[in-house]
A and B are shown apart, each in its own frame.
Chain A
Amino acid sequence: MSRRTQYLLFALWVILLASTPLWASNYVVRLAVTIAMFTALTLSWNFIGGFTGYPSFSTAAFFGLGCYAGALSERAGVPMLLAWGIATLVVGAFAAALGAIILRLKGHYFAIGSIGVVEVVRLVISSWGSLTGGGDGLNLPLLAGGPNVVARIFLAVMLAIMIVTFLITVVVDRSRLGFGLRCIQQNEDAANMAGVNVTLYKVIAFTLSALFCGTIGAAYASWTGYIDPSDSFSILMSIKVPVMCLLGGPGTILGPVIGTAAFTLLEEVFWANFLDYNRAILGVVIVILIFFLPGGLLGLSYRDAMARIGGMFGRTKAAA
C-alpha cells in the first residue's frame, strides 16, 4: 500500500469518526471517542513495541499517572488544558527516567518489569490516600453542558491527540530514529556495532510511547469526572493495547489504526450480544490472532493463512 493511500485512509477514518455526531446515536458517538482514544494509545505503544520490539506492558501505568496528574492539577485550580499539558510532561519525565533503568532488560524480563511498574504505581497511588484519595478515588470538576455535549467535545479532543500521534508516527517512520529503532528490533548488537546509540534511541522510543498516554489519561479524567486506582491502572488496558497493535500490524503506520478499529468493533459486537462471555470471546479472538495472523491484518497473506488452516487439519508440508 503506497504512502498516499495510507494517509488517505487515515484521513477518511478520522472524518468518519468526527462526523458521528451528525448522523449517529449518542451511543455511537461515545464509541467513536473510545476508538479515537485507544487508537492514540496503540499508536503510542507502537513506538516501543512495534518499531523497537520491546514488549512493554506499561501503558496502564502511563495512562493512570496521566489521570492522576491531570486530576490533581485540576483540583488545585489549574485550567483544564494546562492540566493536560502538565500530565503529559510528568508522564514523559517518568517514562524517560524509568526507561533508563528498565530498558536494560530484554525479552521476558523487560515484559515483567513493565507489568511490575503498573502494579507498583497503582499500589503507591492507592496507598497515598492523603494525596490521591486512595481507594475512594478522586472527583473532578464536572463540565457544563450535559453528557452528550461533553462527549462531542471529547471526541474532538481524542481525535486531535490521535492525529498528533499519527503524524509523529509518520515522521519517526521516515526518519533516522525510525531506521535506528528497526535496526535495534532486528539485531540489537549489530545495531550497536553499526553506530546506533542504542540506549538513547530506546529511551526516546519508550518516552514517546508514554507521552500521549499521559495526555489521554488526563483528558479521560476530565471527561468522566471521577477516577480511582483500579480503573486507571487496569492491567487489561495494558494487554489490550498491544493486542490491538498486533492485530493490525506492529511497526507500521496504519497497523495500530486498523487493529484498534477491528478490535473495538469486535468487542462491541461481543459485549452487546454475549455480555456474560465477552471476556472469553476476547480470549478466543486473541488465540485465533496468535495462530493465524502472525503479522497482523496488514501482514496478512491469504495464502499463508490458508496454509496454516490446512496445516491444522493434516500435517501438510509447506509448498516447496
Chain B
Amino acid sequence: MTILVAERVSRNFGGIRAIDDLSFALKEGEIVALIGPNGAGKTTLVNLLTGVLRPSSGHIRFEGQDVTAQRPFEAARRGLARTFQIVQPFPKMTVLENVAAAALFGGKQESVAAAMAMAREQLEFTGLTQFSERSAAALTLAGRKRLELAKSMAMNPKVLMLDEVNAGLNGSEIDGALRLIRQIADRGVTILVIEHLMKVVLSLAQRVLVLHHGQLIAEGSANEIVRNPRVIEAYLGEKFARRFTAEAAHG
C-alpha cells in the first residue's frame, strides 16, 4: 500500500533548480534511506513533503489525498512527522512539556493532561524519563536527538522522516538510535531516513533512494546502489567511477 507519493515534484529558488522532476513512492511500513552528496537536496525534499516549502510544480499525495499545498501544522496533524538536523526545542519549557506540545497539537490529544500522559509514554520509550523535568536547553546533543524522536512519536505519525538523526553522535549512541528506529518501525510507522553513514543505511534500509543535484539518480536495495556507477560518480567523481567499473569488469 503506497502511503506517500511524490509526483514529478520540482522546486526552484530563483535560478536554481533544487529539486528536479522527482518522483517516488513510499509503501506503508517500509524503511527507506535517502542518500546523496551534500547539497543534493535531501532536506529540501523533506521540507517539500512536510509543507515547509511548496513545490514549484508537481504533486504530493498522502494516503491518496492531494496535500501539495499543505501547511506545516497540517502535515503534522495528518501524521507526517519529521526531525530536524539542527534541533529546535522550546527552550524555556521542560523536556516533558516539549513532548506534550507535540502530543497536544500534532497528536491531537484532547486535553493538556492527556497530552502530558502521552508525553510520559514517549519519554519512556526513548529513555528520557529521568530528564522529564529538566529544561530542554540543558540536554546533551544525543539527548536532544532523542527528544526530537519523542516529539515526533508523540504526534502518532504514520510517516516519520529522520533528517541526519545520527549527526554528531558517537558509536554507542548511534547503536542506541538504531535500536529505537527499529522499534518505531515495528510499530508500523513508515520511515524515511536521510543519512550519510553507510553503516546505518546498510543495517536499516530495505530500499535506498539516491539524490544528486535535485534528481533521483538511483533507486534499489542497499547492495544494488553501492555498485551503481552513477552513484559512485556522484560521490567520488567521474574518474574514479570509470576506474572502478573498469576494475570490476576485469576482477
Contacts and interface: CB of A to CB of B under 8 A. Distances in A.
Within 8 Å by CB, do A and B touch in the complex? yes
Interface of A: 174-176, 179-180, 182-183, 186-187, 189-198
A105 to B, nearest CB: 18
Nearest to A199: B71
B82 interface: yes
B104 A176 contact: yes
Given A189-B88, A191-B101, 17 more contacts: A179-B104, A180-B101, A182-B93, A183-B93, A187-B89, A187-B90, A190-B89, A191-B90, A191-B105, A193-B52, A193-B72, A193-B76, A193-B88, A195-B77, A195-B107, A195-B108, A196-B73
B165 to A, nearest CB: 15
B92 A186 contact: yes
Contact of A197 (B52, B73, B92): B73
Contacts of B112: 174-176, 179
Contacts, number: 72
A184 B95 CA distance: 16
B188 interface: no
B43 to A, nearest CB: 13
B90 A192 contact: no
Given A182-B93, A194-B105, A187 B73 contact: no
Interface string B71-85: 111001100001010
11 contacts: A175-B112, A176-B104, A182-B93, A186-B90, A186-B92, A190-B90, A192-B76, A193-B106, A195-B102, A196-B73, A197-B73
Nearest to A193: B72
B101 A192 contact: no
Contacts of B18: none
A195 B73 CA distance: 4
Interface string B103-121: 0111110011000000000
B155 interface: yes
In this complex, the member of B91, B101, B107 whose beta carbon has the largest number of chain A beta carbons within 10 angstroms is B101
B169 to A, nearest CB: 21
In the A-B complex, the 7 residue pairs with the smallest Cβ-Cβ separation, listed nearest first, are A195-B106, A195-B105, A195-B76, A186-B90, A190-B88, A192-B72, A194-B102
B151 interface: yes
Contacts of B105: 176, 180, 183, 191, 194-197
A56 to B, nearest CB: 21
A194 B106 CA distance: 5
A194 B91 contact: no
A183 B101 contact: yes
A190 B112 CA distance: 18
Interface string B58-79: 0000000000000111001100
Contacts of B155: 194-195
Given A174-B112, A176-B104, A187-B88, A192 B73 contact: yes
Contacts of B89: 187, 190
Nearest to B78: A195
In this complex, the member of A182, A189, A196 whose beta carbon has the largest number of chain B beta carbons within 10 angstroms is A196
Nearest to B72: A192
B151 A194 contact: yes
Contacts of B111: 176
A194 B50 CA distance: 11
B75 to A, nearest CB: 8
A183 to B, nearest CB: 5
Contacts of A182: 90, 92-93
Nearest to B77: A195
In this complex, the member of B82, B102, B106 whose beta carbon has the largest number of chain A beta carbons within 10 angstroms is B102
B93 A194 contact: no
Contacts of A193: 50, 52, 72-73, 76, 82, 84, 88, 106
A174 B88 CA distance: 24
Contacts of A180: 101, 104-105
B73 A186 contact: no
Contacts of A175: 112
A202 to B, nearest CB: 12
Contacts of A198: 73
Given A192-B72, A193-B82, A186 B107 contact: no
In this complex, the member of A174, A194, A198 whose beta carbon has the largest number of chain B beta carbons within 10 angstroms is A194
A187 B84 CA distance: 14
Contacts of A194: 73, 76, 101-102, 105-106, 151, 155
Nearest to B97: A179
Interface string B142-175: 0000000001000100000000000000000000
Contacts of B76: 192-195
